[in-house]
Amino acid sequence: MADPLARIPHVGGILTAGQVAETAASIAAMQEPSGAVPWTIGEHTDIWNHVEAAMAMLVGGQVEAAERAYEWVPTLQRADGSWPMKIVGGEVEDHRGEVNMSSYLAVGIWHHWLVRRDIAFVHRFWPAVRAGLDWVVSMQLPFGGIAWSEEWEEGRPVRRDEGALLAGSSSIYQSLRAGVALADLVDDPQPEWELAGGRLGHAIREHRDLFLDKATYSMDWYYPVLGGAVRGDAAFALLETRWDEFVVEGLGIHCVDTNPWVTGAETCELAMALDALGDHQRALRLLADMQHMRGEDGKYWTGWVYGDDVHWPVEHTTYTAAAVILAVDALGETHGHATEGSGIMRGTSLAPHFTELALECGCPSGDAVSGFSARAR
């Protein structure tokens, strides 16, 4: 009989396949009957963290739960392609459309393809992916960033926020590459996504000062690397700028630079960003450092307040557990203990980087301004 843990990723000395499977099961245990995966029991669901949980459950062997999670996503999509920001118990609590959440289904469906190779599954979700990314691209601002939200009143959109979030836009860059990969797979080209991706990549690399100022959050620091827009020497230089402010040796990384509070999800995301740069040693060290947040039954506490030495908030969160599993999959690849989806954050399985465009930001326009060349055809 085949070992059911044989295809579940693990990292020697940090987490075994059995522990990863236990953590995936802990996410599935918090899933609602509808298929929604809330932040924690009784809390709200948002599409981005929900899709991340589906990816992690798939990697951890909870295939049925993962696919039920995906089946739920289109039921909340609106006619314009967007998704509401917060859902609680199946009811929309915050109607605003949020671009990062509305783009991330593309990453999840591409990841499912890499792991399962189920083309019928891809075709079933392609209309939702396409509508979501079409709406996101329509929210692009003149400088290349993506306006982060749209207000809704009386069941319809009424005004667009004119600010762009750096972390969210960086994640959208990854989503657009996943979307183009899916478009190629189903033979439904989306050249406007490639143009939007070129403008977005340029903005993230060259105009981070034009995004809303959220510098107190560590996500704004490392997400340009995690999302894939910043690579090579520029990525190492960016991470060095605030390493000492955010990284706490032996514990993890801060969520915000003002509090003695380290969080598991952000620590794992930084580990994946380092892995994408080939910096495996520091990535492994961060993954190991945050294991003090592991609780019973493979659950993970959200964060730890050092000095006071307490978990805060006093909750286990599905998104923290999901980030751990995806980080294990990424880092396990080096030793052959990973799934076929392990390169999803590294970007090796996505569509190639877009031709960089600088059309309305005041920079000289042209291809490959910072060394990102046109997609091969």
What are 148-171's pLDDT values in tens digits?
999 888 788 888 888 999 999 999
Is 171 part of a structural domain of the chain? yes
Over residues 237-251, the mean pLDDT reads: 98
d(CA 6, CA 158): 51
In a domain, 248, yes or no: yes
Q: In angstroms, how far is the first alpha carbon of the chain from the final one? A: 44
Helix and strand numbers, DSSP H then E, in the chain: 13, 9
Cα–Cα distance, 9 to 342 (Å, whole number): 9
Instruction: Answer yes or no: is 229 within a domain.
Output: yes
Contact by Cβ (8 Å): 45, 61: no
Q: Is residue 368 part of a domain?
A: no
Name the residue range of residue 74's domain: 17-335
pLDDT band, residue 375 (cuts 50/70/90) = very low
Q: Quick one: pLDDT at residue 3?
A: 64
Asked if pLDDT for residue 146 goes beyond 90, the answer is: yes
Mean pLDDT of the chain: 93
Instruction: Give mean pLDDT, residues 3-23.
Output: 91
User: Would you state the pLDDT for residue 2?
Assistant: 56
Rg over CA atoms, the chain: 19
Whether residue 208 is contained in a domain is answered as yes
Residue 257: pLDDT over 90: yes
Q: Is the pLDDT of residue 353 over 70?
A: yes
pLDDT at 255 over 80: yes
Q: How many domains does the chain have?
A: 1
What sections of the chain are H helices per DSSP? 17-29, 47-59, 63-72, 99-103, 105-116, 119-138, 166-185, 191-206, 218-226, 232-246, 264-276, 280-289, 318-332
Task: Provide the H-helix boundaries in 37-143.
Answer: 47-59, 63-72, 99-103, 105-116, 119-138
Which has more confidence, 152 or 279?
Answer: 279
Give the pLDDT score at 321: 98
294 or 366, greater pLDDT: 294
Query: Which domain CATH number covers 44?
Result: 1.50.10.10
Residue 176 domain-assigned?
yes
Which residue matches tokens 């930084």? 270
Q: What is the pTM of this model?
A: 0.95
pLDDT of 371 reads: 38
